[in-house]
Structure formats: structure tokens, C-alpha cells
């Protein structure tokens, strides 16, 4: 991470991109275990942590300035709330996981593009 307030947006975008990368690995693992009896799908929680961290501030700039990046991490959780319609207890649905995977890939590329745009803006200012 870059250690300046000027780069807080980039640092948060980087954390979000890292969480998206972890989510990609978790979703791929879910698909790999589609035929494993009693396997429960997993997912990554990050967005709600970010939302909680920036809530209550009057502006996004203030929220980014006060955000503690070391406390903003993703976590993997097991989704036991999803009902399993299969007799083997597995709750992974291939179509749903593929849809989540596609959504996550779009999110990741959008985050990487946003990081690139932020660096382009900084480069433009420095010129």
C-alpha cells in the first residue's frame, strides 16, 4: 500500500481488488467441489466491511481520510444458510456459481481499471 492520504482511494481500490481475487479463488473452489458430498459453498465478505468502515461520515473524502486500511480485510465464510436440494448435502449450484464468477470478474476488471484511472489522474496533475 502507498503510505499517503493522497493515495487512500487507490489503497481502498487495491484492497477491494484483492478481495475480488480471493473471491475468484473461493468460487472456483466451489465449482471444483460440486460433486463432493456434504460440501457447503463458501464466499468472501468484504463489501459490508467497507460499507461499515465508511458509514457515518459527511463526505467520501473524509471517510477515506479516516479509514484504517489495516482493519479493512476480507474474510471467507461458509454459506450454511443455502438450502441443499441434493440428497448428498452439497449446496453448490453450478449455474449460480458461474453467474457469481462472471459478476466477480467484471468487478475485478472494473476495480483494476479504476486504479489505472486514478494513477492516470495523478500523472496528469504532475505534468
Cell of 15: 484492497
Mean pLDDT value across residues 107-125:
92
- Of 3-7, 49-53, 109-113, the range with the highest mean pLDDT is 109-113
Domain range for 105: 5-126
Q: What is the pLDDT of residue 62?
A: 78
Q: What is the pLDDT of residue 71?
A: 79
Mean pLDDT value across residues 46-58:
83
Percent of the chain's residues with pLDDT above 90:
51
Q: What is the pLDDT of residue 2?
A: 54
Cell of 22: 480471493
Percent of the chain's residues with pLDDT above 70:
94
Mean pLDDT value across residues 38-42:
93
Contacts of 46 (CB under 8 A, 6+ apart): 15, 16, 19, 20, 23, 73, 74, 75
Closest among 65, 52, 48 to 9, alpha carbons compared: 65
H or E element, residue 27: helix 8-32
How many structural domains is the chain composed of? Answer: 1
Q: What are 23-33's pLDDT values in tens digits?
A: 999 999 999 99
Amino acid at each position: 500500500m502507498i503510505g499517503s492520504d493522497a493515495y487512500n482511494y487507490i489503497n481502498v481500490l487495491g484492497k477491494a481488488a484483492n478481495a475480488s481475487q480471493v473471491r475468484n479463488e473461493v468460487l472456483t473452489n466451489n465449482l471444483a467441489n460440486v460433486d463432493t458430498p456434504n460440501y457447503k459453498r463458501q464466499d468472501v465478505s468484504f463489501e459490508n466491511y467497507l460499507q461499515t468502515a465508511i458509514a457515518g461520515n459527511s463526505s467520501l473524502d473524509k471517510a477515506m481520510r479516516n479509514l484504517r486500511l489495516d482493519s479493512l480485510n476480507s474474510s471467507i465464510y461458509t454459506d450454511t444458510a443455502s438450502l441443499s436440494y441434493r440428497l448428498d448435502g452439497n449446496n453448490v449450484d453450478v449455474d449460480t456459481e458461474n453467474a457469481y464468477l462472471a459478476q466477480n470478474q467484471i468487478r475485478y476488471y472494473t476495480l483494476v481499471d479504476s486504479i489505472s484511472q486514478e494513477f492516470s489522474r495523478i500523472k496528469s496533475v504532475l505534468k
